[in-house]
Amino acid sequence: DADVTQTPRNRITKTGKRIMLECSQTKGHDRMYWYRQDPGLGLRLIYYSFDVKDINKGEISDGYSVSRQAQAKFSLSLESAIPNQTALYFCATSDPEQGLGETQYFGPGTRLLVL
Amino acid sequence: GNSVTQMEGPVTLSEEAFLTINCTYTATGYPSLFWYVQYPGEGLQLLLKATKADDKGSNKGFEATYRKETTSFHLEKGSVQVSDSAVYFCALSDAYTGTASKLTFGTGTRLQVTL
């Protein structure tokens, strides 16, 4: 089984709808992240969480919110979806005990289309 | 702030050709440097990394050397295979700004290898 899973894998929604993307991990890592990937822009950080009680904004948090329900679960919500939020969304985890060069482990991604 | 610049793609090579994908960075502290690879339809996975100047990361025949004097971390492989076709991302994390695990990504370089 995959260590980092994301649901749904694909989603089509309409402008103004609220949607939630879910991420679960079995790696036992405290740190979790949400990124979006757009063609020509690479990956940009939306939110990150270093433990269950810690939530931090990334570089593009406007229009998004997150919830860290447990060490293993980190959800991303779009409160009122708009077309420019159409993108590929990735969840990732990492282990701070690695020290320098901490590796991030990515889920398979959720492809979101906002009409 | 931190930034990563990598060569634009796509890069198209014949099988067994030599590969170089250029990556340069700007960082305020002492970054760790990474190459991540994204195969079609999958999430990103770590290819190799280096945590200090003059370190060489290597994996699956790929190599990259951390050059502080030129602020570069170019990816090389002596003989590419069709199975290396993917998108390659250069990234950095900056341990000394209190955000050791936050990654800054380049825009990605698509590699296509043909028979």
Per-residue pLDDT tens digits for B43-98: 999 999 999 899 999 999 999 999 999 999 999 999 999 999 999 999 998 765 55
Q: In this complex, which of B43, B52, B93 lies closest to A90 when CB atoms are compared?
A: B43
Are A6 and A106 spatial neighbours (Cβ–Cβ below 8 Å)? no
Using the beta-carbon criterion (under 8 Å), do B44 and A43 form an inter-chain contact? yes
Mutation to test the A interface, candidates B39, B44, B47, B109, most A Cβ within 10 Å: B44
By the CB < 8 Å criterion, does A10 face chain B? no
Q: Report residue B29's pLDDT band, with 50, 70 and 90 as the boundaries.
A: confident
Are B98 and B111 spatial neighbours (Cβ–Cβ below 8 Å)? no
By the CB < 8 Å criterion, does A29 face chain B? no
Rounded Cα distance, A21 and B41, in Å: 18
The residues, ordered by sequence, that sit 6+ positions from A7 with a Cβ below 8 Å of its Cβ are A21, A22, A24, A110
Is residue B1 scored above 60 in pLDDT? Answer: yes
Rounded Cα distance, B43 and A108, in Å: 4
The residues, ordered by sequence, that sit 6+ positions from B111 with a Cβ below 8 Å of its Cβ are B9, B10, B11, B13, B19, B21, B80, B84, B85, B86, B87, B88
- The tokens describing A96, both together, are 């701070």
Which conformational region is residue B78 in: left (phi greater than 0), alpha (psi within -120 to 50 degrees), or beta?
Answer: alpha
By the CB < 8 Å criterion, does A54 face chain B? no
Mutation to test the A interface, candidates B103, B109, B110, most A Cβ within 10 Å: B103
CB count within 10 Å of CB A28 equals 10
Q: CA nearest B103: which of A28, A84, A24, A93? A: A93
Chain A residues within an 8 Å CB radius of B56: none
pLDDT of residue B95: 62
Alpha carbon distances (Å) from A76 to A16, A21, B69, B108, B111: 16, 5, 40, 24, 31
Using the beta-carbon criterion (under 8 Å), do B101 and A104 form an inter-chain contact? yes
Counting as low any pLDDT under 50, the low residues of chain A are none
